[in-house]
Amino acid sequence: MSSDDPPGDAGPGEPPLSSPVTGIAPRRLHPAGIAVLALGSLRELALPLGVALAATIFGGGSGQPMLRAIVYAAIGAAVAALAGYIRWTTTRWSVGEGRIRLRTGVLSEKETDVPLGRVQAIDTVHGPLQRLFGVQGVQVQTAGGGRESEITLPAIRPADVELLRAAVRRQGGPGAAAAAPAALAERRLGRRRLLVAALTAGQVGVLLPLLAVVPQLSEELWGNDLESAGREGMRLVPESAPEWILAGLALLVLAWLVSTAGSVLAFAGFTIARDEDRLRVRRGLLARREATVPVARVQAVRVVEGLLRRPFGLATVHVEVAGYAKEAAAAQTLFPLLRRAEVEPFLAALLPELADVIDGLEGAPRRSLRRYVLPPAALLLALGAGACLAVPGAAPWPLLAVLPGAAYGASCWGAAGWRIEDGRLAVRFRRMARITVLAPAARLQEHGVRQTVLQRRARLADVEVRVGAGTAAAVRHLDASVAGRVFDALRREDVVFGLPPSEPHRQSARTAPRR
Amino acid sequence: MVTAGPPTSTPEPSRTLAPAARVLWRIEGLGSAVVALIAVGFLQGLVGGTWALAGWAAALLVGAVAVVVVPELRWRRWRWEVREHEIDIRHGTLAVTRTLVPMLRVQHVDTTRGILQQWLGLATVVFHTAAGANEIPALTVAEAGHVRDRIAELARTADEL
């Protein structure tokens, strides 16, 4: 094929390519790969190893448990190192004949073959280990890929990364965009923003159950062997109500700290840049990640105003990307923290394809307010009543839970809204956070209306849209006729027939009178 | 029958499921009714007396509704239609759900048959999008095969546009 490739385009000081015609000759990973792979093996071994260690230390038996634990740990490390070395020696990768090849495997050999034309992006990871050795981890992202990239190279020289990128560029696939793309727009997360973003990350709810297990676990562990420590521990178990509340608060603060630290690690140095047809995201403190998102694969934007952020008018912007839904939430973050007013200009600069106003939505009618308020209020009232029965003496107070229930319902009503304009859909709803979904109507996966028997009598109905695996949105209790009109407006016939989608949408939906 | 769900100007889907769908759902309902009765029997062993009698009555009533009434209502409500550019589905008894799936978004389509369905000569068409799966349950085997092939064909042409 392209025999006229300049052999030296990998940059100055590079050794000439071993086979200039085909790209990169079969080669091993950088030796640092041994360490990275060993660490990976150690992680896989962590659970059985941990069990063995725990059994040794707490399982009683004769001899010195600590010594045996150290021996086990050493054996584990040695096995992991050996596994890393073997995996390194049996891994070869190459670029040639228009494809990237990866051959791995000790007993059963596995060969992965990705045509360069299908490569969407070459993403990189610099973990602490990789940085120590001055190498990079590479993930080859392909179209239609599942939750993980098909080819992962844990450690290769930066020069090889450039060669790989050059090969993809030459091939002219979707990943070929702009040889040395000049960023059209760039945004960076400053230190203060990072701090605020981390403090308000509010993954507290996720971490709490995890932390609640910790005291139980430690009780299990220390209750057995270290009798005195166990008794100390028992003294720490709260006895009265104020102590329980204090313990709960302490747990909350701890969860909050963990969540904050996690966010700092994930989002430090967050930078997003837009070039012609892709977004490049760099982030991470310990492991620095570089990811690329082809704009054509972005299905929707989610503006999330979390519980802790909403009072300060702050929001996070997420993207729904086809094929990325299973990845960590951090990987779907377009920007960790923006003021509400900044969201619009931010999108206009970086993702004008999906940019839209996030305010001025058509709300749910006033008469549906009680339908929003009643269910959560009733649920919390029932829970409160249960608490009254379960804890004697607490009598009327738990019933007050009805108030936050009602408040939550009312705020859900206030959040609900929709708009269809120029073929762009905006839908807002509240779970715990207030979420605004912006999506081109043409990229919906499905949409529908739903009406219960009770809603039928009141002439109300829900509108539901699904944008991707990660984004389903529903606006509940709209006027039934409005819901029906939204349903019609989102039909795609006009789009499929190639008519401009703006006119019919504008007529049918925007002018919907409010009852 | 009066159109169910909120008023739309999109034409209502018109195709029904196979009549044997009712038999399928009755058998499935019978299964859950039996489970409910066993649960009540278990409770009677624990509690005994008049309360358990009320339990039996309730379980029998729920079972009868699940076996006799619900399948009929469900079958009458179920409508579907495969158009050139979309699949239109309407179903539900207490809550009526109407769903439109653009043909362009259909990734693949297949038919499945459980043991009961095989016995009754029925099959379910399942079509997948990036957001998940939807299905048209309990068609006759011949019709299901036809619908599957047609959706596959239309989805392919939609992709080429």
Which residue of chain A is at minimal alpha-carbon distance from B11? A488
pLDDT class of A165 with cuts at 50, 70, 90:
confident
Q: Nearest-CA neighbor of A187 among A117, A274, A310?
A: A274
More confidently predicted of B52 and A434: A434
| Interface contact B5, partner A, CB < 8 A | yes
Q: Are A43 and A210 in contact (CB under 8 A)?
A: no
Query: Which has the minimum average pLDDT: A191-195, A249-253, B98-102?
Result: A249-253
**B45-93: pLDDT as tens digits:** 777 667 767 778 888 888 888 888 999 999 999 999 999 889 999 999 8
The two structure tokens encoding residue B10: 């999109």
> Looking at the complex, does the CB of residue A467 fall below 8 Å from at least one CB of chain B?
yes
| Spatial distance between the Cα atoms of A441 and A505, rounded to a whole number of angstroms | 10
- CA nearest B105: which of A474, A118, A440? A440
Question: Cβ of A371 under 8 Å from any chain B Cβ?
Answer: no
pLDDT for B91: 94
Q: What is the pLDDT of residue B48?
A: 66
Closest CA to A428 of A328, A490, A376, A356: A356
C-beta of residue A348 within 8 angstroms of C-beta of residue A187: no
Q: For chain B, what percent of residues have pLDDT higher than 70?
A: 93
- Cα-based distances in Å from A490 to B47, B79, B101: 55, 20, 11
pLDDT of A115 higher than 60: yes
Which residue reads 């709803």 in tokens?
Answer: A429
Examine the pLDDT at A235 and tell me if it is beyond 60.
no
Specify the DSSP element, H or E, that contains A251: helix A241-267
pLDDT at B154 over 70: yes
A469-484 mean pLDDT: 88
Note whether A483 contacts B: Cβ–Cβ < 8 A: yes
Tell me the per-residue pLDDT of A279-330, one tens digit each, with 9 for 90 and over: 888 888 888 888 888 888 888 999 999 888 888 999 999 988 876 545 555 6
C-alpha B106: how far from chain center:
20
Q: How far apart are CA B69 and CA A30, in angstroms?
A: 69
Q: Is the pLDDT of residue A63 over 90?
A: no
Rounded distance, CA A465 to CA A449, Å?
9
Q: What is the mean pLDDT of residues A25-38?
A: 86
Asked whether the predicted pLDDT for residue A225 surpasses 50, the reply is no
Given CB atoms, is B132 within the 8 Å cutoff of chain A? yes
Please give, rounded to a whole number of angstroms, the shortest distance from the CA of A440 to a CA of chain B.
14
Give CA–CA dist B158/A406, Å, rounded. 47
Is it the case that residue A501 has pLDDT exceeding 60? no
Q: What's the pLDDT score for residue A179?
A: 45
Q: What's the pLDDT score for residue A208?
A: 58
Taking residues A176-199, what's their average pLDDT?
75
Residues from chain B contacting residue A488 (CB–CB below 8 Å):
8-10
Chain B: closest CA distance from residue A442 (Å): 9
For chain A, say whether B2 makes contact (Cβ under 8 Å): no
- B2: which 2 tokens? 């009066």
Which member of A451, A466, A485 has the closest CB to residue B5? A451
A178/A184 Cα distance (integer angstroms): 12
Q: Is the per-residue pLDDT at A20 higher than 50?
A: no
pLDDT at B120: 93
Which of A443, A444, A451 has the highest number of chain B CBs within 10 A, making it the mutation to test binding with B? Answer: A451
**Which pLDDT belongs to residue A95?**
86
pLDDT of B131 above 50: yes
Taking CB atoms and an 8 Å limit, are B95 and A444 in contact across chains? no
pLDDT at position A172: 58
Out of A146-155, A361-370, A404-413, which region has the weakest mean confidence (pLDDT)? A146-155
B126 touches chain A (CB under 8 A): no
CA angle A400, A402, A403 (to 5 degrees): 80
Residue-wise pLDDT for A116-128, tens only, equals: 877 777 888 888 8
Residues of B with Cβ-Cβ distance to A461 under 8 angstroms = 5-6
Q: Is pLDDT above 50 for A70? A: yes
How confident is the model over A354-401, as pLDDT tens digits? 888 888 899 999 999 999 999 999 999 999 888 888 877 777 888 888
Give the residue from A332, A324, A270, A298 showing the smallest Cα distance to A440.
Answer: A298
- What pTM value is reported for the model? 0.74
Residue in chain B closest to A459 (alpha carbons) equals B6
Q: How far is B46 from chain A (nearest CA, A)?
A: 22
Beta-carbon separation of A450 and B132 below 8 A: no
B115 vs A: CB within 8 A: no
Nearest neighbour of B100 by CB, restricted to A323, A446, A467: A446
Residues 42-81 of B with CB under 8 A from A: none
CA distance A464 to A451: 11
Calculate how close chain A gets to B120, using CA atoms only, in Å.
Answer: 31
Q: Determine contact, residues B126/B10, Cβ cutoff 8 Å.
A: no
Q: Which residue of B has its CA nearest to A486?
A: B8
Task: Determine whether the interchain pair A444/B102 forms a contact, defined as Cβ–Cβ distance below 8 Å.
Answer: yes
Long-range pairs, A67-70, Cβ under 8 A, ≥24: none
Q: What is the pLDDT of residue B40?
A: 81
Between CA B139 and CA B141, with CA B140 as vertex, the angle to 5 degrees is 110
pLDDT at A177 over 70: no
Mean pLDDT score, A249-278: 85
What pLDDT does A237 receive? 57
DSSP string, A457-489: HHTEEEEEEEEETTEEEEEEEEEHHHHHHHHHH
Q: How confident is the model at residue A508 (pLDDT cuts 50, 70, 90)?
A: very low
Summarize the confidence of residues A101-121 as an average pLDDT. Answer: 79
Answer whether A485 touches B (CB < 8 Å). Answer: yes
Name which of B94, B129, B158 is nearest A453 (Cβ-Cβ). Answer: B94
For residues A132-161, give the mean pLDDT: 76
**Cα–chain center distance at A499:** 35
* A461 → chain B, closest CA residue: B6
Measure CB to CB from residue B104 to each of A322, A480, A496 and give the nearest one: A496
Q: How far apart are CA B19 and CA B75, in angstroms?
A: 8
Alpha carbon separation from A77 to A43, A46, A72, A445, B139 (Å, rounded):
10, 10, 9, 48, 58
Identify the three-state secondary structure at position A150: coil
Under a CB-based contact definition with an 8 Å cutoff, are residues A78 and A70 in contact?
no
Q: How far is A55 from chain B (nearest CA, A)?
A: 40
Whether residue A211 is predicted with pLDDT greater than 60 in this model: the reply is no
> Is the distance from CB of A136 to CB of A155 less than 8 angstroms?
yes
> Which of the four pLDDT bands, split at 50, 70 and 90, describes residue A19?
very low
Cα-to-chain-centroid distance, residue A446: 22
* Beta bridge partners of residue A410, listed in sequence order: none
Tell me the average pLDDT across B140-159. Answer: 89
| Alpha-helix residue ranges (DSSP H) falling in A108-171 | 128-133, 158-171
Nearest CB to A447 within list B85, B100, B103: B100
Mean pLDDT of B20-28: 93
C-beta separation of A466 from A447 below 8 A: yes
Q: Give how far A434 is from chain B: nearest CA, Å.
A: 21
Best residue of A320, A445, A485 to probe chain B, by most B CBs closer than 10 Å: A445
Check CB contact of A224 with chain B, cutoff 8 Å.
no
Nearest chain A residue to B132 by CA: give it. A469
For residue B34, pLDDT beyond 60:
yes
Least confident among A111-115, A201-205, A277-281, B61-65: A201-205
Q: Which among B71, B76, B72 is positioned nearest to B2, based on CA atoms?
A: B76
Can you give the pLDDT at residue B161?
Answer: 54
Whether chain A has a CB inside 8 Å of the CB on B86: the answer is yes
The verdict on a CB contact (< 8 Å) between A487 and B6 is yes
Bridge-partner residues for B87, per DSSP?
B82, B101
What integer pLDDT is reported at residue A242 of this predicted model? 76
Average pLDDT, chain A: 77
Percent of chain A scored above 90 by pLDDT? Answer: 22
Cα(A89)–Cα(A105) distance, integer angstroms: 10
Please give, rounded to a whole number of angstroms, the shortest distance from the CA of B34 to a CA of chain A. Answer: 28
User: What is the token pair recorded at B149?
Assistant: 């092939």
Q: To the nearest 10°, the Cα dihedral for A333, A336, A339, A343? A: -20
Q: What whole-number percentage of chain A has pLDDT above 70?
A: 76
* CB contact set of A73 (below 8 Å; sequence gap of 6+): A49, A53
Name the more confident of A67 and A380. A380
Place of tokens 């603060």: A253
- Cβ of A490 within 8 Å of Cβ of B104? The answer is no
B98 in contact with chain A, both atoms CB, cutoff 8 A: yes
Question: According to the model, what pLDDT value does residue B58 have?
Answer: 83
Contact between residue A443 and residue A431 where contact means Cβ atoms under 8 Å apart: no
Return the residue of B nearest to A324 by Cα. B130
